[in-house]
Chain A
Amino acid sequence: DSGVTQTPKHLITATGQRVTLRCSPRSGDLSVYWYQQSLDQGLQFLIQYYNGEERAKGNILERFSAQQFPDLHSELNLSSLELGDSALYFCASSKRGGANTDTQYFGPGTRLTVL
């Protein structure tokens, strides 16, 4: 158990809908990262928040947005969903803001299925 929690574990929805994924980091960690993992693409970095502020952006679509709240939990919002958005979404956390040097601990993931 990494100490990172994610809800829900599974989400099934229809095209065009909007969903929210939630992540609570490990106690004491200030950074939260979101990743998408699909079968053919591997783990793709989406976005990082550090202490409430956006720190880095990866290949995140405009239909996707995220935020980190004062209690440091984070939400990833996915809207106008398409079939291709079906994937595993992981949240990770680290103590500081250095994504390239700090060890990131991953949550169990949310499996999103878009029908």
Chain B
Amino acid sequence: EDQVTQSPEALRLQEGESSSLNCSYTVSGLRGLFWYRQDPGKGPEFLFTLYSAGEEKEKERLKATLTKKESFLHITAPKPEDSATYLCAGGSYGGSQGNLIFGKGTKLSVKP
């Protein structure tokens, strides 16, 4: 069964303390790996799409990387406004679970 697992479930950082969030996937024929940010009660906000192992993308303090088995979201010198839940999703060829399979997210808290 296709699966996306995110770790840790929750992460508390001090402002300026860099870290990484992990997304491991067992998705047959992965077509795309997506990262979203979600604030409480809001819709997921698109961050990055990665299509092949070795690919990297950056946006402000965030950098996403992809290997054959996992993806990392690196957060450099985070600020309190980076506090949110970060969701990872794998695009598969389909099946009973649908074509985009989401992990349960990592809840990031950044303290000033």
Contacts and interface: CB of A to CB of B under 8 A. Distances in A.
Interface of A: 2, 4, 33, 42-46, 48, 56-59, 88, 90, 92, 98-109, 111
A107 B43 contact: yes
Judged by DSSP, the binding face of B is loop
A61 B64 CA distance: 35
Nearest to B44: A106
A107 B42 CA distance: 8
Interface of B: 31-32, 34, 36, 41-46, 49, 51, 87, 89, 91-94, 96-105
Given A107-B43, A109-B42, A58 B96 contact: yes
Contact of B99 (A4, A45, A90, A108): A45
B98 A42 contact: no
B102 A48 contact: no
Given A104-B34, A106-B46, 19 more contacts: A42-B103, A43-B89, A45-B98, A45-B99, A48-B99, A56-B99, A57-B98, A90-B43, A90-B44, A98-B91, A99-B100, A100-B99, A101-B51, A102-B32, A103-B34, A103-B46, A103-B49, A106-B36, A107-B43
A109 B43 contact: yes
B6 to A, nearest CB: 10
Contacts of B97: 45, 58-59
Nearest to B92: A100
Contacts of B99: 45, 48, 56, 98-100
A101 B98 contact: no
Contacts of A98: 31, 91, 99
Contact of B104 (A42, A90, A107): A42
Given A101-B91, A103-B34, A56 B43 contact: no
Contacts of B101: 45
Contact of B46 (A45, A104, A109): A104
16 contacts: A33-B100, A42-B104, A43-B44, A56-B99, A57-B98, A59-B97, A88-B41, A90-B43, A99-B91, A100-B31, A100-B94, A100-B99, A103-B34, A106-B43, A108-B42, A109-B42
